[in-house]
Amino acid sequence: MAATERSPAIRLLTAADLDAAVELSASAHWNQNRADWRTMLQLGQGWGLDGVDDAGREVLAASVVVLPYGTAFAWTSMVLVLPAFQRRGYARQLLRHALAHLGAQGRAAILDATPAGHAVYVQEGFADTWGFARYRREAGAALTRRPNGLPTRPLTDRDWPAIEALDTPAFGASRLPLLQSLAQRWPQAARVVEAGGRLRGYVLGRDGREAGQIGPLLAKDDDVAIALLAHALHAEPGALYVDLLDSRRSLLPWLEQAGFVFQRPFTRMVHGTRSAPGDPAAIVLAAGPELG
Ligand SMILES: CC(C)(COP(=O)(O)OP(=O)(O)OC[C@H]1O[C@@H](n2cnc3c(N)ncnc32)[C@H](O)[C@@H]1OP(=O)(O)O)[C@@H](O)C(=O)NCCC(=O)NCCS
């Protein structure tokens, strides 16, 4: 029997949905774990559609999440539909619900599209801006590149004002609660480079369902970015993802020598505004398509 044909109602996702939400993102081989979903549902809002699968189980069949940043925009993410429920309009229905919610708040919707999602978003009026690409390093890959000698140090609570001052114009809005939650999840990856009493860059990381992720990483200069990356890779010998902005491909040879291999491209898309917020010149690694 095929998955049920009844037309479900959109409902709000809560902490009670965390296991089902991880099952849903795992069905697309995505890396989010319970902590990721918990953070997104705490800082933002999610909606889902339920269904009954081929085994007769009640399942969370589809999801969408919005994460407000400042007053002008919200990230729109976790647009996921279980394979057995695809091509029934579930993604379109949830996306329209999220867009109506954001429209009522006067917010633009920003997202990072996979090639699969791109087809859905274009039809709903999203437009392309810049892009980035995901790379993966397997566990145990030897780090043949030495750190470049630029000192990094652990991030401390005193760094947050300077991090916010670097991050907000680059990202387009303050996202301090998110950054602070990431720093708590993987303190071993949270580092800064400071020179002449000025913060020149920072990096954060987090655990994931099947690999860690390094990012966001902000630094205007490549040598600062390399110092932060080298530290993060030494601190985390396990499998890792990074989402490198196309505008910072000058760092790709370094990443490839560190064992990173191309996975897939993402396109930053906007709805309700003409361009992506912020100025990505200082962004090296995005936080990830689900966070911005
Ligand atoms: C992408 C995804 C969310 C689409 O979900 P869905 O519920 O099947 O999409 P919908 O049925 O609402 O599709 C709406 C329209 O988008 C287009 N579309 C959807 N999936 C498509 C695909 N695989 N290829 C081409 N066009 C597609 C179609 O035009 C479709 O309308 P139609 O079926 O009337 O022709 C789903 O395939 C999925 O979960 N993929 C894995 C995770 C992912 O990549 N998510 C996107 C994150 S950015």
| Structural domains of the chain ordered from first start | 11-130 (3.40.630.30), 133-264+271-285 (3.40.630.90)
Q: Tell me if 201 sits within 8 A of 193, measured CB to CB.
A: yes
Q: What is the pLDDT of residue 7?
A: 74
Q: Ligand 1 atom 42: the closest Cα is on which residue?
A: 80
The residues, ordered by sequence, that sit 6+ positions from 258 with a Cβ below 8 Å of its Cβ are 137, 141, 143, 144, 145, 229, 233
Pocket of ligand 1 (CB under 6 A): 28, 79-81, 86-92, 113-114, 116-117, 119-120, 123
pLDDT digits (tens, 9 = 90+) for 224-255: 999 999 999 999 999 999 999 999 999 999 99
- Model confidence at 1, pLDDT cuts 50, 70, 90, reads very low
Q: Which of 72, 94, 96, 78 is nearest to 41 (CA)?
A: 78
How far, in Å, is the centroid of ligand 1 from the Cα of 16? 26
Radius of gyration of the chain (CA): 19
**pTM of this structure:** 0.95
How far, in Å, is the centroid of ligand 1 from the Cα of 89? 8
Cα 291 to Cα 111: distance, rounded to the nearest angstrom? 9
**DSSP 8-class letter at 263:** E
Percentage of residues in the chain having pLDDT higher than 90:
93
Q: Tell me if 78 sits within 8 A of 18, measured CB to CB.
A: no
Looking from the CA of 70 toward its CB, the CA atoms found within 13 Å total: 15
- Model confidence at 140, pLDDT cuts 50, 70, 90, reads confident
Q: Which of 33, 29, 68 is nearest to 208 (CA)?
A: 33
- Model confidence at 145, pLDDT cuts 50, 70, 90, reads low
Ligand 1 atom with the smallest distance to the CA of 121 is 16
Q: What is the pLDDT of residue 148?
A: 79
